[in-house]
């Protein structure tokens, strides 16, 4: 669990009645409040509390287990990141009164991070155990993949917990250059966990992005050796300004993601999973781009690190990668640049927009109307995702549509 040190301006300092903050009151210095875990009662600290509650809280409070504060006058709530039960011996478990809970909820802010770093890791399993314990203790949810070549993750939770996670993770020398993108989460549940992920998953894999080509990468502490040239959003615009139509955008994501948002005139490979890229490149379908400047792009940049390297290995001569991916481009240019549509994300938000005037370029599989919504195939056994509007709600994927048409044909013949 985490501790947050908050400096409150002297003007907001409550009247002290002995106890924890009397020395601060005498000194006239700003009050430094240390919140232990999610707790420590602010009643008496918070000037917004009704005076009677504030008084009662100050009068009744007394230390429990050194760091905890017991508030017998309130309906008590117990909070622990582990099992939601108060355990005096566990410093992460604290005792909160109702006022504190509302104070804590006011302070809470749901955030989601996307991050990766390519760096050699000799013991991915040890890193997994450390990362799992760290994320779990901070009540974070999401997915983290670790391999011998680095770490790649997306996590959601309260902003204070996420910041602490990043501080701790960057303490590990191999992860000090972690590239992180932030976005707003949908919210937090009662326990303070992200609503955008069902759970926390931390796994060791052969690759941190599954191209099915783990042997092809050469990774040092400086990242991938022989990847595409990195382009910042501004450098991308410079390239387009000097080379014009010669430049080809190459979408490094799955076809579904590109269906609701993409760069103008981008080449969209026909792939359902990242694993299909190698076959697609080897098919010769993109050989005409081998002597063109090709800009690969993906959500946060991690897939293009690998894709651009695979392309260079296969004879593409001038390959670039959009550094920081679409997320960083969107932060810089919003919907006023070369990006159009919504950015698909792999959590419950479904997609994010860079501005209120984002174009809707997706077409519903059911009715053909414009939408950015994605959903599962109507067949319960099918994992395929589709662009489908709220009105149609659920539609069938190509394979299941074909199967249904075949079945209708069989039924007709039988009649
Ligand atoms: Zn529809
Ligand atoms: Zn299907």
**pLDDT truncated to tens, each residue of the chain (415 aa)?**
344 444 434 334 333 333 333 343 444 443 333 333 333 344 333 333 333 333 333 433 433 333 333 333 333 444 434 444 444 455 444 444 444 555 566 678 999 999 999 999 999 999 999 999 999 999 999 999 999 999 999 999 999 999 999 999 999 999 998 989 999 999 999 999 999 999 999 999 999 999 999 889 999 999 999 999 999 999 999 999 999 999 999 999 999 999 999 999 999 999 999 999 999 999 999 999 999 999 999 999 999 999 999 999 999 999 999 999 999 999 999 999 999 999 999 999 999 999 999 999 999 999 999 999 999 999 889 988 999 999 998 888 888 888 888 888 777 666 6
Cα–Cα distances in angstroms (integers) from residue 2 to residues 5, 97, 155, 217, 409, in the given order: 10, 19, 16, 37, 63
Ligand 1 center from residue 267 Cα (angstroms): 25
Tokens matching residue 305: 């690190």
Ligand 2 center from residue 392 Cα (angstroms): 15
Burial label for 294, CB within 10 Å (0-12, 13-18, 19+), is buried
* CA 28 – CA 397 distance, rounded (Å): 68
Ligand 1 center from residue 391 Cα (angstroms): 6
* CA 307 – CA 295 distance, rounded (Å): 11
- Taking the CA of 392 as reference, the closest ligand is 1
- Taking the CA of 387 as reference, the closest ligand is 1
pTM over 0.85: no
Ligand 2 center from residue 376 Cα (angstroms): 8
Q: What is the pLDDT of residue 384?
A: 87
Ligand 2 center from residue 369 Cα (angstroms): 20
Q: What is the pLDDT of residue 35?
A: 34
Burial label for 360, CB within 10 Å (0-12, 13-18, 19+), is middle
- Taking the CA of 394 as reference, the closest ligand is 1
Q: Is 298 a catalytic residue?
A: yes
* CA 46 – CA 396 distance, rounded (Å): 55
- Taking the CA of 390 as reference, the closest ligand is 1
Ligand 2 center from residue 196 Cα (angstroms): 24
- CB of 247 within 8 A of CB of 292? yes
- Active-site annotation holder among 57, 97, 298, 377: 298
- Taking the CA of 402 as reference, the closest ligand is 2
DSSP code for 194: B
Ligand 1 center from residue 403 Cα (angstroms): 20
Ligand 1 center from residue 387 Cα (angstroms): 9
Tokens matching residue 31: 């009050």
């Amino acid at each position: 669990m985490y501790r947050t040190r908050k400096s409150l301006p002297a003007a907001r300092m409550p009247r002290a009645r002995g106890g924890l903050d009397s020395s601060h009151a005498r000194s006239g210095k700003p009050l430094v409040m240390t919140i232990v875990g999610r707790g420590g009662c602010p009643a008496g600290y918070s000037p917004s509390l009704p005076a009677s509650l504030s008084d009662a809280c100050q009068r009744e409070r007394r230390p429990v287990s050194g760091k905890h504060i017991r508030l017998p006058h309130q309906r008590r709530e117990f909070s622990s990141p582990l099992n939601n039960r108060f355990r005096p011996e566990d410093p992460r478990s604290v005792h909160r009164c109702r006022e504190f809970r509302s104070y804590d909820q006011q302070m809470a802010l749901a955030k989601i991070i996307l991050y990766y770093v390519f760096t050699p890791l000799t013991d991915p399993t040890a890193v997994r155990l450390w990362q799992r314990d760290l994320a779990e203790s901070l009540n974070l949810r999401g997915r983290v993949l670790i391999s011998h070549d680095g770490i790649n993750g997306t996590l959601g939770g309260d902003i204070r917990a996420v910041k602490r996670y990043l501080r701790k993770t960057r303490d590990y020398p191999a992860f000090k250059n972690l590239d992180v993108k932030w976005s707003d989460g949908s919210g937090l549940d009662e326990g303070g966990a992200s609503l955008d992920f069902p759970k926390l998953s931390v796994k060791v894999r052969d690759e941190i992005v599954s191209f099915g080509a783990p042997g092809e990468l050469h990774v040092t502490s400086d990242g991938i050796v022989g990847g595409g040239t990195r382009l910042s959003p501004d450098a991308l615009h410079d390239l387009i300004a000097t080379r014009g139509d010669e430049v080809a955008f190459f979408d490094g994501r799955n076809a579904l993601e590109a269906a609701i948002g993409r760069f103008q005139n981008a080449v969209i490979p026909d792939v359902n999973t990242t694993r299909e890229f190698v076959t697609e490149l080897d098919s010769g379908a993109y050989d005409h781009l081998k002597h063109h400047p090709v800009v690969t792009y993906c959500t946060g940049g991690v897939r293009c690190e690998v894709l651009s390297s695979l392309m260079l290995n296969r004879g593409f001569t001038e390959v670039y990668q959009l550094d920081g991916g679409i997320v960083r481009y969107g932060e810089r240019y919003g919907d006023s640049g070369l990006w159009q549509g919504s950015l698909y994300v792999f959590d419950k938000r479904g997609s994010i927009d860079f501005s209120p005037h984002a174009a809707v370029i997706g077409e519903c599989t059911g009715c053909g109307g414009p939408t950015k919504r994605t959903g599962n195939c109507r067949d319960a056994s099918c994992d395929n995702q589709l662009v489908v509007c709220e009105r149609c709600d659920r539609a069938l994927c190509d394979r299941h549509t074909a199967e249904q048409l075949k079945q209708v044909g069989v039924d007709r013949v039988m009649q």
